[in-house]
Amino acid sequence: MTADGHTALCVLGTGLIGGSLLRAATAAGRAAWGYNRSAPGVAAARASGFDVTGDLPAALGRATDSDALIVVAVPMPAVDPMLDAIATHAPDCGLTDVVSVKAPVAAAVRRFGLEQRYVGGHPMAGTSESGWQATDPELFRGAAWAVGVDAGTDPHTWTRVTRLALDCGSVAVPVIASEHDRAVARISHLPHVLAEALAVAGARGGDLALGLAAGSFRDGTRVAGTAPDLVRAICEPNSDALLAVLDETLTALTEARAALDTSTSLDDLTAAGYAARRRYETAERWEIGDIEPGAEGWLERLQEAGRAGGVITRL
């Protein structure tokens, strides 16, 4: 790697996120190659001119030879086999991932003894599409990219991972795994669950209801168009946090239902919802600045800044 962290990249999984990452890193001038399990996926990426193989040991051997940063970019259910191969063929490489949950990945990484050089990541970007044909080098532009700052984080690997997020056009959000998982239960996994339920309610109204559906239904159900297996792979590994926020939401909806029934009023819900949406719309990212990876208390400082909406836009 170069002194400023623009290391070579080995991307495992070239679907929407991994493939877009391969494109974005290449566009940023990185040496980058990938592995994909499916032959058609490999062929599609190669046809686009990218260096992708179906030979996992070869991709990982190359990572070891060039001290590349390895990026695990497969859904949670496919993570263990990847880590197993990494432990065999590239145990000393820097390691990150772009999986939608962080604590389960970190636990798996520990099971394979790879925690020394691991820093979790999660770019908050995606579409309801999937596969190489949906990849876009601009997918991460302006996105928040969660970067792990759990106790014991290696400053060197952390710098590499943060640099990757910045090179892809994202801002880095420092966050520990458990807090990440609770946050995404609220702003990513719950939206999926509610979108599915809303789609079902609409379709139960038949052709008439679907024919009258306009913007609120279209936007509210958009992510229900995501392949069910992918939604499950995103949400189910975070079931504890999702159950907690689902219970909170069931309570809020039950209270709103009671108010509508007894006093024909949605006053409380609409006031709270509007205030919440306004807070979201007006939230401003602020630059954390003066980051010294490895300095005394650097992780605690980043953890606190991330909780308060701070981001990193440069190193």
Subset of residues 206 to 235 that bind a copy of itself, contact rule: CB under 8 A = 206-229, 231-232, 235
Site size for a copy of itself (CB under 8 A)? 101
Residue 163: which of 30, 50, 306, 286 has the closest Cα? 30
Out of 32, 72, 175, 288, point to the residue binding a copy of itself (CB under 8 A).
175
Out of 48, 269, 298, 313, point to the residue binding a copy of itself (CB under 8 A).
269
Which residue lies nearer to a copy of itself by CB, 49 or 280? 280
**Rg (alpha carbons) of the chain, rounded to whole number:** 21
Query: Is residue 126 close enough to count as binding a copy of itself by CB under 8 A?
Result: yes
* Distance of closest approach, residue 45 Cβ to a copy of itself, in angstroms: 24
Two tokens, residue 217 = 């239904």
* Distance of closest approach, residue 311 Cβ to a copy of itself, in angstroms: 7
Residues between 9 and 28 with contacts to a copy of itself, criterion CB under 8 A = none
* Distance of closest approach, residue 284 Cβ to a copy of itself, in angstroms: 10
At position 296, the amino acid (one-letter code) is: E
Query: Is residue 107 close enough to count as binding a copy of itself by CB under 8 A?
Result: no
* Distance of closest approach, residue 204 Cβ to a copy of itself, in angstroms: 7
Residues between 292 and 311 with contacts to a copy of itself, criterion CB under 8 A = 306-309, 311
Out of 58, 107, 253, 295, point to the residue binding a copy of itself (CB under 8 A).
253
Output the 3-class SS for the chain.
CCCCCCCCEEEECCCHHHHHHHHHHHHCCCCEEEECCCHHHHHHHHHCCCCEECCHHHHHHHHHHCCCEEEECCCHHHHHHHHHHHHHHCCCCEEEECCCCCHHHHHHHHHCCCHHHECCEEECCCCCCCCHHHCCCCCCCCCEEEEECCCCCCHHHHHHHHHHHHHCCCEEEEECHHHHHHHHHHHHHHHHHHHHHHHHHHHCCHHHHHHHCCHHHHHHHHHHHCCHHHHHHHHHHHHHHHHHHHHHHHHHHHHHHHHHHHHCCCHHHHHHHHHHHHHHHHCCCEECCCCCCCCCCHHHHHHHHHHCCEEECCC
Query: Is residue 182 close enough to count as binding a copy of itself by CB under 8 A?
Result: yes
Query: Is residue 105 close enough to count as binding a copy of itself by CB under 8 A?
Result: no
Q: Tell me the window of 32-40, 43-51, 151-159, 254-262 that interacts with a copy of itself (CB under 8 A).
A: 254-262
Q: Could you tell me where the beta strands, DSSP code E, fall in 20-120?
A: 32-35, 52-53, 69-72, 94-97
Which residue lies nearer to a copy of itself by CB, 58 or 200? 200
Out of 52, 164, 242, 299, point to the residue binding a copy of itself (CB under 8 A).
242
Query: Is residue 49 close enough to count as binding a copy of itself by CB under 8 A?
Result: no
Residues between 185 and 204 with contacts to a copy of itself, criterion CB under 8 A = 186-188, 190-204
Out of 134, 136, 285, 298, point to the residue binding a copy of itself (CB under 8 A).
285
Two tokens, residue 19 = 């493939």
Query: Is residue 254 close enough to count as binding a copy of itself by CB under 8 A?
Result: yes
Which residue lies nearer to a copy of itself by CB, 115 or 129? 129
Residues between 130 and 169 with contacts to a copy of itself, criterion CB under 8 A = 143-144, 146
* Distance of closest approach, residue 146 Cβ to a copy of itself, in angstroms: 6
At position 313, the amino acid (one-letter code) is: T
